[in-house]
Amino acid sequence: RKEVEQDPGPFNVPEGATVAFNCTYSNSASQSFFWYRQDCRKEPKLLMSVYSSGNEDGRFTAQLNRASQYISLLIRDSKLSDSATYLCVVRGTYKYIFGTGTRLKVLA
């Protein structure tokens, strides 16, 4: 079993739609959680950290469920510019483990 698992997608959604991604992790001792965004042929960039109580950043909402060992990302009112691959990242003591990413394509 992979340490961090994501549905690779692709998720094709119309502009304005709401889309959600989930990610599961296997190490219950994981301490920090993040969502990164990666555009085609670019480096991954931090989208947002994920807090235990859930957190929101504009159209983006992240949730953490430690009991079930998954994190989620919700994107409301999708824009064309949201098209990218979203990487779930789980951190243990010092190492960051990346999921393989979920590809999102927002259609006009």
Give yes or no for residue 94 binding other proteins (CB under 8 A): yes
Shortest Cβ distance from residue 19 to other proteins (Å)?
21
CB 2 within 8 A of CB 26: yes
- Dist CA 77 CA 39 (whole Å): 19
Shortest Cβ distance from residue 40 to other proteins (Å)?
11
34-93 residues near other proteins, rule: CB under 8 A: 34, 42-46, 49, 87, 93
22's tokens = 């989930």
One of 74, 76, 98, 105 touching other proteins (CB under 8 A): 98
Cβ partners under 8 Å of residue 94, min gap 6: none
Q: For residues 37 and 78, which CB has a smaller minimum distance to other proteins in the complex?
A: 37
29's tokens = 């001792």
One of 99, 103, 104, 106 touching other proteins (CB under 8 A): 99
Shortest Cβ distance from residue 50 to other proteins (Å)?
9
- Dist CA 84 CA 103 (whole Å): 6
32's tokens = 């920090």
Binding site for other proteins (CB under 8 A): 31-32, 34, 42-46, 49, 87, 93-101
